[in-house]
Amino acid sequence: MTATEEHAAPIGFGRMERKEDVRFIRGHGTYVDDVRLPGMLYGAVLRSPYAHARIASIDTGAAEAHPKVRAVITGATLDTLNLAWMPTLSYDTQAVLATDKVRFQGQEVAFVVAEDRYSARDALELIDVTYEPLPAVIDARHALDPGAPVIRDDKEGKTDNHIFDWESGDAAKTDEIFANAEVTVAEDVLYPRVHPAPLETCGAVADFDKITGKLTVWETTQAPHAHRTLIAMVAGLPEQKIRVISPDIGGGFGGKVGIYPGYVCAIVGSIVTGKPVKWVEDRSENLMSTAFARDYHMRGEVAATRDGKILAIRVNVLADHGAFNATAQPTNYPAGFFSVFTGSYDLTAAHCKVTGVYTNKAPGGVAYACSFRITEAAYLVERMVDVLAHELRADPAELRMRNLLRPEQFPYASKTGWEYDSGDYPRTLRLAMDIAGYEELRKEQEAERARGHLMGIGVSFFTEAVGAGPRKHMDILGLGMADGAELRIHPTGKGVLRISVQSQGQGHETTFAQIVAEELGIPPADIEVVHGDTDQTPFGLGTYGSRSTPVSGAATAVVARKVRERARIVAAAMLEVDAADLDWEKGRWFVRGDPDQGKTMTEIALAAHSTVELPDGVEGQLDATCVYNPPNLTYPYGAYICVVDVDPGTGKVSVRRFVAVDDCGVRINPMIVDGQIHGGLADGVGMALMEVISFDPDGNCLGGSFMDYLLPTALECPSWELGATVTPSPHHPIGAKGVGESATVGSPAAVVNAVIDALAPYGVRHADMPLTPAQVWRAIQGRPFRTDLAIS
Amino acid sequence: MQITVTVNGTEYTRDVEPRLLLIHFLRDELGLTGSHWGCDTSNCGACVVWLDRTPVKSCTALAAMASGREVATVEGLEKDGQLDPVQQGFVACHGLQCGFCTPGMMMTARWLLDHNPDPSEQEVREAISGQICRCTGYENIVRAVRWASEHGAAEHREPAQHVEAEVTA
């Protein structure tokens, strides 16, 4: 029996093996580093060893004399092309290659193009840069101190490291509730700097044809269309002459949204040498220079009644954005969607204030499946609810159940301006508790504690806001966040769907074919999904923020429905009846009241291309296009329960069980949905227990390889226990909400809450992630440390 | 220096730099891009291939070390148009998402099943614990290997046309 025979593919939604697997399991995927063009050269980037230093001189003579080197590019070279600096996605600027100063360790200083990978690396060693080291700003909490070194003195008139202040909610009302509350709790909560670390690092192959003026760039990008437009703007090349191809992508997690200097250098390298240039960063370059995530220093406060009704939440955030403000989020949301920090609860008031600062660290901030900072928000509120439970000596699950939004409150207008579309939160939490056997676990915990064992049970409940977004409110660099879809139905009834989003493993070639199948009754195997090539697909902003299904999936359903309506007219002409007299069943139009009289999509497709006479004004053929502008975000949610055991002798945490019940609305392919959740849960275990990019006082990155930046393996992950509830989104064409980031958003709090719960006998109320053995040990001693800085 | 390496049963002779890594030899010299490079430090295992029937991380082995020896890669798993049960299991159980770690995972899984045809979940987890997957949370990789164990691992033939030879490096 083959794998395929075991599971028949549905014509529509349901479990179905992935179409893309056919190439991946044979080693026949095509990732950027697999692209090989005739005459191709290789690029390598020279990076700064200092976190902050003035560049006194750069001598490239010896590198240029290397027999296999074809070009050496510095900031000075780029300056002559007006390319030394480029715009970021947050209306800031970022150095492509440093000219005046270096501002973080690992910053790009020079680019060598050589005949092979190894020679390019050799030549980096021949470049002589004289640096004058400067004092560095490493601790974000001192970035705004008077007299702190000014990092961005390239910006005229800049005299401090302040980027922005942003707030949301009702400050006066929130303060009033806090002033009169029976109970208030406060806690400083750090969400440390982490990195998405996709297994494939970033890279590009640029091929500029001097004769035609056409630039083709293979890039590790989650947003090929946005990149094409940005390349046109940055490089001054005509956009119709730029083709961005995003081939198979080896994981993205938000780390492949922005434009990195290496991409620009590869393009310049190709223009300068007249040959295709490949640049692929190594793992250290990836971890030290591309988009990090989080680095939010948060103070959370909760006001409640003594019997556990949460009234208000107040949050102050110091956001470390690194040396350049390069976060990727909608323009009007400098702190992303952090204001979803009110979580899943029925509050009276809420307020948050976020201050962004520059530090001498790599730029970024929005990545690693964060749903535009909802990861930070969800972690904070779920940590704070447990802090309140600790204060009230309440059961954390019961406290949540008491405060969750009730089904009849939807659509719910949150106190920070979001309209939650649908949900039945108590049902989802109850299901998670039932799967976990929550009450029995508590009894077991009591018995374990009596024996001196540290067993912990952690609960989290999260609400996400995904599918950005309504173009009236949401854009990136002025580009509205709508997505296009094109559907062609060939004469034989087979189709080609062209979409603007770009899979990094999410299985779009399968699920999007299933959406068409559901709408038209054409088997998914007969629908080819084309993506990742700007010359072949309609414009759209790409895949991040769990937006593919909410936005592009909606576009696909709508375009398929357009095709269906066109098919109706053709079917009416074939049957010689009025189109209004036809009814639809999956794959077929038939005469109302006479079901035997009908035409299948295959018959209709052929007729649409044939000589069948159509009514005046009907063009023939079935092809259609659509641009989907979402009316609102979608709000997936979930309830997670984690069980851990902590070794009191070493501080080592073992995750014994993890129960996750997700409600992401309608599930197109439950197998793929579960897979997305599995991956996010592993992220949560990683972030909670081991992942951190920390720095020493000089700004040396201490997470620059997989020897230091630890990721969970199969041994740290338990066998995930999943459950599902389905509450469709009322405004999405197929009721789907998106799920890609849900588990990454919701799971860290469950793990941390479980560990802190295990440490309850020691009176521990909070300790910051990652809860490494050292950190747990210190927490047991009553002295948890700051995980973002080297231990001094 | 000149090296001769047998890869998936085919002998290749090439002039290479002594420092050339095995992963770059396979990918850049032979065009076998199924094996991936991911970390440089032997942590991620995207580059796992077999060297004389033993999984190795080819980012930390020199091409020269493979001279006179046999290398097996993901491209050799399928035989005469018949997928290896491990490949089938990965499809059936959704054991891959982005596909980048998959070739290395499958090579280790094949080795495990050749030595332990009916591994427990824990034994599978231990076998792949030197490799990283960022997408699947490992759950479905474990299920995929178990699936392969239950669907004909015993009938499997060696990926490489093996010739009995002792390691001479």
pLDDT digits (tens, 9 = 90+) for A477-497: 999 999 999 999 999 999 999
Nearest residue on chain A to B26, alpha-carbon basis = A34
Tokens of A350: 């809420």
Tokens of A640: 């997670």
Instruction: Share the mean pLDDT of chain A.
Output: 97
Enclosing H/E stretch for A57: strand A53-59
With contacts defined as CB-CB under 8 Å, which chain A residues touch B40? 282-284, 705
Mean pLDDT of B74-94: 97
Q: Are the CB atoms for A44 and A110 separated by under 8 Å?
A: no
User: B12 and chain A: CB distance < 8 Å anywhere?
Assistant: no
Q: Is A386 helix (H, G, I), strand (E, B) or coil?
A: helix
Tokens of A276: 């295709």
With contacts defined as CB-CB under 8 Å, which chain B residues touch A31? 33, 36, 100
Among B44, B92, B135, the residue with its CB nearest the CB of A17 is B92
CA proximity to A459, closest of A497, A429, A484: A429
The per-residue pLDDT for range A363-413, each reduced to its tens digit, is 999 999 999 999 999 999 999 999 999 999 999 999 999 999 999 999 999
CA A753 from chain centre, in angstroms, equals: 24
Task: Report whether pLDDT(A593) > 60.
Answer: yes
Q: How many CB atoms lie within 10 A of CB A237?
A: 18
Q: Using CB atoms within 10 A of its CB, is residue B115 exposed (0-12), middle (13-18) or buried (19+)? A: exposed
**Cα gap A217→A469, rounded to integer Å:** 27
A536-550, A592-606, A730-744, B145-159: range with lowest mean pLDDT:
B145-159
Q: Best interface-test mutation with A: which of B98, B101, B122, B155 has the largest number of A CBs within 10 A?
A: B98
Q: Best interface-test mutation with A: which of B123, B135, B143 has the largest number of A CBs within 10 A?
A: B135
Q: Where in chain B is the domain with CATH 1.10.150.120?
A: 85-168
Q: Are the CB atoms for A425 and A405 separated by under 8 Å?
A: yes
Task: Report whether pLDDT(B163) > 70.
Answer: no
Considering only CA atoms, give the Rg of chain B: 15
With contacts defined as CB-CB under 8 Å, which chain B residues touch A744? none
The per-residue pLDDT for range A625-639, each reduced to its tens digit, is 999 999 999 999 999
CB contact under 8 A, A29 and B99: yes
User: A290 and chain B: CB distance < 8 Å anywhere?
Assistant: no
With contacts defined as CB-CB under 8 Å, which chain A residues touch B102? 24-25
| Amino acid letter for position A780 | I
How many angstroms away from the CA of A250 is the closest CA of chain B?
5
User: B48 and chain A: CB distance < 8 Å anywhere?
Assistant: no
CATH node for B85-168? 1.10.150.120
With contacts defined as CB-CB under 8 Å, which chain B residues touch A20? 99
Among B33, B91, B101, the residue with its CB nearest the CB of A34 is B33
Instruction: Give CA separation, A578 vs A154, A185, A520, A562, A566, in Å.
Output: 69, 68, 20, 18, 13
Q: How confident is the model at residue B152 (pLDDT cuts 50, 70, 90)?
A: confident
How many angstroms away from the CA of B135 is the closest CA of chain A?
5
Q: Where in chain B is the domain with CATH 3.10.20.30?
A: 2-76
CB contact under 8 A, B34 and A705: no
What pLDDT is recorded for position A3?
A: 44
Q: How confident is the model at residue A7 (pLDDT cuts 50, 70, 90)?
A: low
Q: Using CB atoms within 10 A of its CB, is residue A585 exposed (0-12), middle (13-18) or buried (19+)? A: exposed
Task: Report whether pLDDT(B166) > 70.
Answer: no
Q: How confident is the model at residue A6 (pLDDT cuts 50, 70, 90)?
A: very low
**Cα gap A744→A423, rounded to integer Å:** 20
Q: How many CB atoms lie within 10 A of CB B54?
A: 10
Among B36, B102, B135, the residue with its CB nearest the CB of A25 is B102
What pLDDT is recorded for position A4?
A: 43
How many angstroms away from the CA of B163 is the closest CA of chain A?
24
CA proximity to A333, closest of A323, A319, A343, A347: A319
With contacts defined as CB-CB under 8 Å, which chain A residues touch B77? 25-26
What pLDDT is recorded for position A150?
A: 98
End-to-end, the C-alpha distance of chain B in Å comes to: 15
Enclosing H/E stretch for A685: helix A670-689
Hey, which residues 556-595 in chain A have their CB within 8 Å of chain B? none
Dihedral class, residue A197 (left if φ above 0, else alpha if ψ from -120 to 50, else beta): left
Task: Report whether pLDDT(A145) > 70.
Answer: yes
Mean pLDDT of A115-124: 98
Q: Best interface-test mutation with B: which of A713, A739, A744, A751 has the largest number of B CBs within 10 A?
A: A713
Hey, which residues 118-177 in chain A have their CB within 8 Å of chain B? 118
Q: What's the predicted TM-score (pTM) here?
A: 0.96
End-to-end, the C-alpha distance of chain A in Å comes to: 60
What pLDDT is recorded for position B156?
A: 47
Among B38, B78, B88, the residue with its CB nearest the CB of A199 is B38
What pLDDT is recorded for position A390?
A: 98
Task: Report whether pLDDT(B161) > 80.
Answer: no
**Cα gap A482→A490, rounded to integer Å:** 27
Which DSSP letter does residue B28 get? I
Q: Is the ipTM of this complex over 0.90?
A: yes
Mean pLDDT of A245-261: 97
Tokens of A711: 């990721």
Tokens of A608: 């649409």
Q: Are the CB atoms for A717 and B137 separated by under 8 Å?
A: yes
Task: Report whether pLDDT(A188) > 50.
Answer: yes
Q: How confident is the model at residue A791 (pLDDT cuts 50, 70, 90)?
A: low
Structural fold of domain B2-76:
Ubiquitin-like (UB roll) (3.10.20)
CB contact under 8 A, A675 and B91: no
**Cα gap A780→A294, rounded to integer Å:** 26
Q: How confident is the model at residue A235 (pLDDT cuts 50, 70, 90)?
A: confident
Task: Report whether pLDDT(B33) > 80.
Answer: yes
Instruction: Share the mean pLDDT of chain B.
Output: 92
What residues contact A198, with CB distance under 8 A and at least 6 apart? A249, A250, A251, A252, A253, A255, A256, A504, B98, B100, B134
Q: Are the CB atoms for B147 and B88 separated by under 8 Å?
A: yes
Q: Best interface-test mutation with B: which of A25, A640, A655, A662 has the largest number of B CBs within 10 A?
A: A25
With contacts defined as CB-CB under 8 Å, which chain B residues touch A197? 134
With contacts defined as CB-CB under 8 Å, which chain B residues touch A505? 96-99, 135
Q: Are the CB atoms for A715 and B125 separated by under 8 Å?
A: yes
Mean pLDDT of A324-344: 96
Kindly state the percentage of chain A with pLDDT values over 70. 99
CA proximity to A327, closest of A144, A547, A87: A87
Q: Best interface-test mutation with B: which of A2, A17, A23, A24 has the largest number of B CBs within 10 A?
A: A24
Which DSSP letter does residue A9 get? P
**Cα gap A120→B39, rounded to integer Å:** 19
Which DSSP letter does residue A188 get? E
What pLDDT is recorded for position A740?
A: 96
Q: Are the CB atoms for A283 and B41 separated by under 8 Å?
A: yes
CA proximity to A711, closest of A196, A283, A12: A196
**Cα gap B104→B36, rounded to integer Å:** 8
Q: Are the CB atoms for A642 and A658 separated by under 8 Å?
A: yes
Task: Report whether pLDDT(A158) > 80.
Answer: yes
Instruction: Give CA separation, A266 vs A68, A122, A209, A263, B53, in Å.
Output: 17, 18, 14, 5, 39
